[in-house]
């Protein structure tokens, strides 16, 4: 018996319906904005190559440290 362990990534692209008398440039701009809000491009870039669990943990730890430092800096501004 063979198991299929491949993860299938399904990406649902945002749709944009053109309005009356709307230029293609504006339509494309709205589509790009929707894609950016849905974080599609960053998700594709993230999944292009395999990331070892140790590397992922290290990246997430660094991100959380940066986030805490940013919060501390904001709090120091308000304490003045």
Q: What is the pLDDT of residues 55-80, one digit of tens each?
A: 999 999 999 999 999 999 999 988 87
Answer whether 18's CB lies under 8 Å from 27's CB.
yes
Q: Which two tokens stand for residue 20?
A: 């009356």
Residue 19 CA to residue 29 CA, distance in Å, equals: 13
Residues 6+ positions from 31 with CB-CB distance below 8 Å = 14, 16
- Look at residue 28 and tell me whether its pLDDT is greater than 90: yes
Q: Which band of pLDDT confidence, cut at 50, 70 and 90, is reported for residue 1? A: low
What local confidence, expressed as pLDDT, does residue 46 receive?
A: 85
């Amino acid at each position: 018996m063979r198991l299929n362990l491949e993860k299938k990534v399904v990406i649902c692209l945002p749709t944009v319906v053109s309005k009356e008398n709307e230029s293609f440039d504006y339509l494309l701009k709205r589509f790009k904005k929707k894609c950016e809000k849905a974080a599609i491009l960053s998700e594709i870039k993230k999944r292009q190559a395999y990331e070892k669990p140790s590397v992922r943990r290290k990246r997430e730890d660094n991100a959380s440290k940066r986030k805490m430092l940013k919060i501390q800096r904001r709090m120091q501004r308000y304490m003045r």
